[in-house]
Chains A and B, each alone.
Chain A
Amino acid sequence: MAVLGPSGSGKSTLLRAIAGLEPIAAGRVLIDGADQAGVPPPGRGVAMVFQSFALFPHLDVERNIAFGLRARGETTAHVLDTARSLGLGALLDRRPAELSGGERQRVALARALVANPRVLLLDEPLSNLDAQLRAGARVEIRRVQERTAVTTLHVTHDQDEALALGHRVAVLHEGRVMQVGTPDELWERPASTWIARFVGTPPMNVLRAPVAGLEIVGEGLVGFRAEDAVVRSGDSSIVFELAERIGAQRLWHLRAGDEAVVVRAPEGAEPPPRGTAVRVTVPAAAVRRFDA
């Protein structure tokens, strides 16, 4: 389960409330159906990976991973297995300062997993990594999650991360859950214009139809994805502004009056001069209508 929201939406607070680090004013935290009110943090069976990884700088990798086990006086027999499964077998006597960002992240993950938690809480675990490391770490988290089958709550402000990792995604905005669904549902059927404008790179275009030059079924607030629109030249109130490449896709930024519209560039087409009028056609199946 991924928890997606912009900064300040209450994602981390939600995780901390589940962990018992933050008091709850209203509502309940259920783990395996049991109310956790009054259950102290260590009794909840939750483990957390912090954004900063929160490794103990003076302890080596082995001691970091085994910290909780030693603190509770439990056996440290599984430490080596856990470390090896995350590729940390050769780094056990290193200190965090001697590790790369990716290695630190895996140590934090190993420390969280070593005691077989019921719930694994990940607070922006990838945001402290370089862009190159992030993709690898993302796959690693997914692999670990599938191998251990531990219920995981992955908090992130990065929707690519949320859509890639979450079997289900909860979108949080100003402390409220706006929508819970599979990544496909969020992508194709956002529950509100706010989610439509938040999810996706680029996000969904949301316009108030009719717009001269926009051939679309329906009136009022309509939305469509950049890749579903077809662009050709022609008489229109929509004008071309600039072209942009994001990874494999090339995007054209258009302007319809006050509204910005982003569409996928037509196959093989050179960007026209700035200010060129273009017509945009959206197939009926790709249109999403919103209330209000």
Chain B
Amino acid sequence: MSERRQLALMLLPYGAGALLLFVVPAQLSLALALTDADLITPSRFVGLDNVHALTEDPFFGEVVWRSALFVALAVPIRLAVATGFALLLHARFRGAGAARTAVFSPSVIPDTAWALVWLFLLNPLYGPVNALLGLVGLGPVSWFSDGDAAFAAIVLMFAFTVGESFIVALAARQELPDELYEVARLEGARATYVLRVVTLPLLAPVLLLLAVRDVAVSLQATFTAVYLLTDGGPDRATLLLPIYSFDKGFEQFQYGYASAMMLLAFFGCLALALLQYLIVRRWRLGVTGTSA
């Protein structure tokens, strides 16, 4: 068997999975977005009526704005957490392996379990977060009944599910030659100077790519947490795109409308990713060390 055919054969399961689970549903969703489907009465083709209706839906504008705010807050925080842990834990020392596992673990436990953990952590009466805040004279915060606090809670619980970004940042940091840091040591550069002038610029291309990915993740992955913790409340304070689209589709049976919403979100996400990609390309920094 030729190498080409072997390759094709090995790609087949993945290709079939991607086709059946991603491409076909995406096509159906695209088609659905152009109908008034409610799964009860026969669907009619309505063209761009759904998109038009969305522009006049005051909730949708609000949800987009809130989702953008969430991304603008969550992505930098998540990136800072992932990079921060990567820089702290890239060296070999006793317990480094355990610490790395600990940082990664929130990303592998099921979303529902993670949500339940935070339900406990943020419990207004006996939760440890409020207890800690109480120690420094703050709070108690009504995490799930105050709008801003609930929004902050969702951001907070998303700050730690950064396992994949952490691993990538860790690998990128370990790729940087030790000798650069020895030069910095010999030259008497302070840690903050080295971070600002050496480490972050050299990691920048990787961090920007992680940011691109994280925008997409942060737009989508909030569903389980929001659904279980706040269900978009209180008073729509945590009503983000995935949950709003779910409400429209699966609770109000406006499948066409919900599909159109996700389609717009997809294009928005695509535009953001393209923008970031162009920035990365312009940056064009080598992380490959000095003997290129």
Interface residues of A (CB under 8 A from B): 19-21, 40-43, 46-48, 50, 52-59, 67-68, 70-72, 96-97, 104, 111, 115, 128
Contact = CB atoms under 8 A, between A and B. Distances in A.
Contacts of A67: 183-184, 187, 189, 197
A19 B186 contact: yes
B56 interface: no
B188 A57 contact: no
A70 B290 CA distance: 21
Interface of B: 177, 179-180, 182-190, 193-194, 197-198, 201-202, 285-292
B266 to A, nearest CB: 34
30 contacts: A19-B186, A21-B186, A40-B188, A41-B188, A46-B186, A47-B186, A48-B182, A50-B179, A50-B182, A50-B183, A52-B177, A52-B291, A54-B177, A54-B180, A54-B182, A56-B183, A57-B287, A57-B289, A57-B292, A58-B286, A68-B186, A68-B187, A68-B188, A71-B188, A71-B193, A72-B188, A72-B189, A96-B292, A97-B292, A104-B290
B290 A52 contact: yes
A96 B288 CA distance: 11
A53 B291 CA distance: 8
Query: Sorted from nearest, which 6 A-B pairs have the closest CB atoms?
Result: A42-B188, A68-B187, A71-B189, A54-B179, A55-B290, A97-B292
A58 B188 contact: no
Given A58-B201, A67-B189, A48 B291 contact: no
Contacts of A48: 182-183, 186
A66 to B, nearest CB: 10
Contact of A97 (B184, B187, B198, B286): B286
A56 B180 contact: yes
B112 to A, nearest CB: 43
Given A56-B290, A111-B183, 6 more contacts: A19-B186, A41-B185, A42-B187, A46-B186, A67-B184, A97-B292
A14 to B, nearest CB: 15
A290 B287 CA distance: 53
Given A50-B179, A52-B177, A71-B197, A57 B185 contact: no
Contacts of B285: 57-58
Nearest to B185: A41
A70 B198 CA distance: 13
